[in-house]
C-alpha cells in the first residue's frame, strides 16, 4: 500500500517537487541520512525520464510517484509511454560519450540510466500491468526506529 | 535552490560560476549561457561547479554538449569540482574520463592536464 502518492503533469518544473517529496518521505521512513542524496538523484532521474517520454509522445497524462515504507522504502515512478523499456541501456563507454554523433538527448538518456543503475542497488524497470507504460521501481533499506 | 549563473574572466579564460540545482527544469538556462559564450568567441570556458547542490543527467548532457561545441571551435573546456557527491556522479557515468576536472579554479586556469583529478 502506498504511503504517499503524487501525480503531476509531465512538466520539468514538477520534477523538483517530486524529488523534495520523495526525500521527505524517505527521511520519515527511516532511510539512512547518507543515502538521501542518492534517493534524491534517483527519483529525479526516474521522473525526468518519465516526463521526457510523455513529452516525446505528446501525452498529457500524469506521471505518478508512489512511495511506500512497509518493509523497505519503495518508490515507483510510473509513466504511460508506449515503449518497451528495460534497464539494458546502462553505462556508455567514455569514447562514445564524447563522440560527436551522440545527440544530447541520447547522452542524457544513457547517463540517466547509468545513474539509476549506479545509485540504486535494488532497481527494476518493467511494463505496467494495465495499458502502455513503464514502472521504475527502486527500493532502499530503512532503519527501524 | 534556483540556478545561479555568473561569469568572470581569469586571464584568457571565462569562468562560469554555477550555483543551485541543475536539473531538467534549469539545465536549458545553463545550455543557453554556454552557447552564448561560445558564440561570442570565448575559446576557454571553465565551469565552476562549487556552488552546485544538485546535478542530474540533463545537466551532464548540457556540459558534454558545451565541451563538444568548444572542441569543434578548437576551444578548451574544463570543470572545477571538489565535492565528493558530484565527483561520484562523474565516476558512475564515466564522464570523469571525458571532462578535465580540476579541484580549483587556479589549477584549471593554469591549464596543466597533470593537475586534473581525472
Q: Is B87 on the interface with A (CB under 8 A)?
A: no
Which residue is closest to B85 within chain A, CA to CA? Answer: A37
Count of CB atoms situated within 10 Å of the CB of B12: 11
For residue A2, pLDDT beyond 70: no
CB contact at 8 A, A64 and A78: yes
Using pLDDT thresholds of 50, 70 and 90, give the confidence band for residue B4: very high
Q: Does a structural domain hold residue A145?
A: no
Comparing A104-108, B10-14, B35-39, B87-91, the range with the smallest average pLDDT is A104-108
How many distinct structural domains can be found in chain A?
1
Check residue A88 and give its pLDDT.
Answer: 46
Residues 6+ apart with CB under 8 A from B9: B15
Number of CB atoms found within 10 A of residue A25's CB? 21
- Reported ipTM: the value is 0.89
Mean pLDDT across B81-108: 96
With residues binned 3-state (H G I as helix, E B as strand, rest as coil), the percentages for chain B, rounded to 5, are: 40, 30, 25
Q: What is the pLDDT of residue A1?
A: 58
Nearest by CB: B24 against A12, A97, A115: A12
In this model, does residue A141 exceed pLDDT 70? yes
Instruction: Compute the distance between CA of residue A123 and CA of residue A118 in angstroms, rounded to an integer.
Output: 10
Predicted confidence (pLDDT) at residue B112 exceeds the cutoff of 60: no
pLDDT band at residue A84 using 50, 70 and 90 as cut-offs: low
Candidate from B64, B85, B92 with C-beta closest to A115: B92
Sign of CA dihedral A22, A28, A32, A33: positive
Asked whether residue A47 is assigned to any structural domain, the reply reads yes
List of chain A residues whose C-beta atoms are within 8 Å of the C-beta of residue B98: 94, 97-98
For chain A, list residues whose CB is within 8 angstroms of any CB belonging to chain B: 12-13, 15-16, 19, 37, 40-41, 44-45, 48, 51-52, 91-94, 97-98, 100, 104-105, 107-109, 111-112, 114-115, 118-119
Tell me if A45 and B56 make a contact (CB, 8 A cut-off): yes
Beta strands at A73-78 and A134-140: parallel, antiparallel or unpaired: antiparallel
Ordered structural domains, chain B, with CATH: 4-108 (3.30.750.24)
- Strand pairing report for A4-8 and A63-68: antiparallel
| Residue A138 clears pLDDT 50, i.e. is over it | yes
Domain range enclosing A69? 4-140
The percent of residues in chain B predicted with pLDDT above 70, rounded, is 92
pLDDT tens readout for residues A94-136: 788 888 788 888 888 889 989 999 999 999 999 998 889 999 9
Would A20 be classed as within a structural domain?
yes
Task: Please count the residue pairs, one from chain A and one from chain B, whose beta carbons lie less than 8 angstroms apart.
Answer: 80
Please write the tens of the pLDDT for every residue from A4-49.
999 999 999 999 999 999 999 999 999 999 999 999 999 999 999 9
Residue A57 lies in a domain: yes
Q: What are phi and psi of B37, to 5 degrees?
A: -65, -45
Closest residue by Cα to residue B1 from B50, B48, B53: B53
pLDDT at residue A59 is higher than 60: yes
pLDDT value at residue A99: 82
Q: What is the pLDDT of residue A87?
A: 47
pLDDT in tens, B23-56: 999 999 999 999 999 999 999 999 999 999 999 9
Q: Is the C-alpha dihedral spanning A42, A47, A48, A50 positive or negative? A: positive
Question: Would A97 be classed as within a structural domain?
Answer: yes
Sign of the alpha-carbon dihedral angle for B113, B55, B9, B35: positive
Whether A18 is covered by a domain: the verdict is: yes
Say if residue B60's pLDDT is above 70: yes
Pick from B56, B60, B68: which is nearest to A44 by CB? B56
Q: In a 3-state reduction of DSSP, which class is residue A58? A: coil
Segment 23-52 of chain B within 8 Å of chain A by CB: 23-25
pLDDT greater at residue B16 or residue A3: B16
Residue A90 has pLDDT above 80, yes or no: no
Amino acid at each position: 500500500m502506498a504511503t504517499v502518492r503524487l501525480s503531476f503533469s509531465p512538466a520539468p518544473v514538477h520534477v523538483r517537487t517530486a524529488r523534495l517529496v520523495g526525500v521527505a518521505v524517505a527521511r520519515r521512513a527511516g532511510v539512512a541520512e547518507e543515502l538521501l542524496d542518492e534517493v534524491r538523484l534517483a527519483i529525479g532521474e526516474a521522473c525526468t525520464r518519465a516526463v521526457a517520454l510523455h513529452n516525446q509522445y505528446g501525452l498529457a497524462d500524469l506521471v505518478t510517484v508512489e512511495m511506500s515504507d512497509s518493509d523497505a522504502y519503495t518508490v515507483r515512478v510510473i509513466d504511460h509511454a508506449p515503449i518497451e523499456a528495460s534497464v539494458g541501456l546502462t553505462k556508455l563507454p567514455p569514447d562514445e560519450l564524447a563522440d560527436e554523433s551522440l545527440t544530447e538527448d541520447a547522452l542524457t538518456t544513457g547517463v540517466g540510466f547509468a545513474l539509476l543503475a549506479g545509485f540504486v542497488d535494488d532497481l527494476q524497470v518493467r511494463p505496467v500491468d494495465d495499458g502502455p507504460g513503464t514502472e521504475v521501481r527502486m527500493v532502499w533499506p530503512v532503519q527501524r526506529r | 535552490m534556483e540556478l545561479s549563473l555568473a561569469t568572470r574572466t581569469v586571464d584568457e579564460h571565462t569562468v562560469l560560476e554555477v550555483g543551485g540545482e541543475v536539473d531538467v527544469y534549469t539545465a536549458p538556462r545553463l545550455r543557453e549561457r554556454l552557447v552564448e559564450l561560445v558564440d561570442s568567441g570565448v575559446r576557454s570556458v571553465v565551469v565552476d561547479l562549487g556552488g552546485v547542490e544538485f546535478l542530474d543527467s540533463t545537466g551532464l548532457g548540457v556540459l558534454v554538449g558545451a565541451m563538444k561545441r568548444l572542441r569543434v571551435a578548437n576551444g578548451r573546456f574544463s570543470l572545477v569540482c571538489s565535492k565528493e557527491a558530484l565527483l561520484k556522479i562523474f565516476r558512475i557515468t564515466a564522464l570523469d574520463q571525458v571532462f578535465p576536472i580540476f579541484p580549483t579554479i587556479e589549477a584549471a586556469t593554469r591549464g596543466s592536464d597533470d593537475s586534473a583529478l581525472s
